[in-house]
Amino acid sequence: MSSNASEEIALVAALQGDSVAAFDALYRMYFPAVYANILHLVKDSAAAQDIVQEVFIRLWEKRKLLQTGQPAGNWLFVVSYNRSLNHLRSTLRQRLKLASLVPDTMESEEGEWEVTSIQLDMLERAIDKLPPQRKKVFLLCKMQGKTYAEAATELQISHYTVKEHITKASRFIRDYVRVQPEWQTLLVAFPLLASLFHR
């Protein structure tokens, strides 16, 4: 285990003991990456700021439930990812509500958000179906933005193994979405998956 991982695990243990200093240290450690990933999904800096604050408030509230001996990073990124999806779904619902009032002016925008929601739902389902280790690698590299080398070090596997996991995960997700009924609506535009596969 790297010294950074050991340090973070110690911070998590202190956080579980109600240490505000440990919380502040984890906040400084993870805020930039968590915020960047939220912004990548929601494409709205104000919304991303709100979501990242909610995520860290949740971290403090759920500190006793964190897995002992594990870094906080995975928890933060999964929660921030889910919160981002919830924000997009909420925004979609609001836009559809407005669209029902003014359909002529909102029709194209409604369609754009409908496609985004379908993409997010399919991506979430596909990731959940990955084998545990492959899912970890995919989330580290594609959701947390870590390099293959960083993921290899964190998971104590080879760079080649990380690359193989990413290749197989990407292929599985592409194959998965192609057999979904919603796929026909996404043949022309699938920007979210494309961005994840080529980051």
Reported pTM: 0.56
* Cβ-contact 55, 34 below 8 angstroms: yes
Tell me how far apart the alpha carbons of residues 55 and 153 are, in angstroms, rounded to a whole number.
26
The Cα-based distances of 143 to 24, 25, 68, 129, 136 in angstroms read 23, 22, 23, 16, 10
- Enumerate the domain spans of the chain: 1-78, 125-199
Q: What is the pLDDT of residue 101?
A: 47
Q: Which fold has domain 1-78?
A: Rna Polymerase Sigma Factor; Chain: A (1.10.1740)
Q: Which fold has domain 125-199?
A: Arc Repressor Mutant, subunit A (1.10.10)
Tell me how far apart the alpha carbons of residues 107 and 27 are, in angstroms, rounded to a whole number.
41
Mapping DSSP onto H, E and C, the string for 36-105 reads HHHHHHHCCHHHHHHHHHHHHHHHHHCHHHCCCCCCCHHHHHHHHHHHHHHHHHHHHHHHHHHHHHCHHH
Number of H helices, E strands in the chain: 9, 0
Give pLDDT < 70 ranges for the chain. 1-5, 93, 95-120, 143-145, 182-199
